[in-house]
Amino acid sequence: MESFVEQECEMRLVAAPGGSVAVPTRLSYSPYDPYAVEVTFRFGQSCPVTWVFSRELLAEGLDGPCGQGDVRIWPVLGDARREALCLVLSAPDGSAVLEVPTAVVERWLKRTYQVVPAGREAELLDLDVELCGLLGEAA
């Protein structure tokens, strides 16, 4: 069974109305953190930037606007279908608006649900071990 699900793709950083810049991106999922997804952006020669947020949030964004605060997601409609997904990532220094083809995210999410079906995430967590780790105690 495949444990980690990764997908290289290109997102578009919306720089101005009508303008965007390509950003090489990696989508990552691990059953060791079954509720979360990682999105890693590689901007030129600088260090990669990784955002971690809920897999459920990403899935909900395929169907309509969702999210509050640092991560907001919604589908971008074109020709009566969802053609892209818009992600707005906000930090104290500013916000970034990115777009990714919906089909890329849908295929990748489907693979993550083959590894860990929706609603089965808690079965992979050992809460006693996690709690001991947080409290600095031996399990």
Q: pLDDT (tens digit, 9 = 90+) per residue, 14-72?
A: 987 778 899 999 999 998 889 999 999 998 777 899 999 999 999 999 999 999 999 99
**HEC-encoded secondary structure of the chain:** CCCCEEEEEEEEEEEECCEEEEEEEEEEECCCCCCEEEEEECCCCCCCEEEEEEHHHHHHHCCCCECCCCEEEEEEEECCEEEEEEEEEEECCEEEEEEEEHHHHHHHHHHHHHHCCCCCHHHHCCHHHHHHHHHCCCC
At 1, the pLDDT band (50, 70, 90 cuts) reads very low
pTM, whole model, 2 decimals?
Answer: 0.82
Which of 3.40.50.80, 2.30.31.20, 2.10.109.10, 2.160.20.10 would CATH assign to domain 5-135?
Answer: 2.30.31.20
pLDDT > 80? residue 98: yes
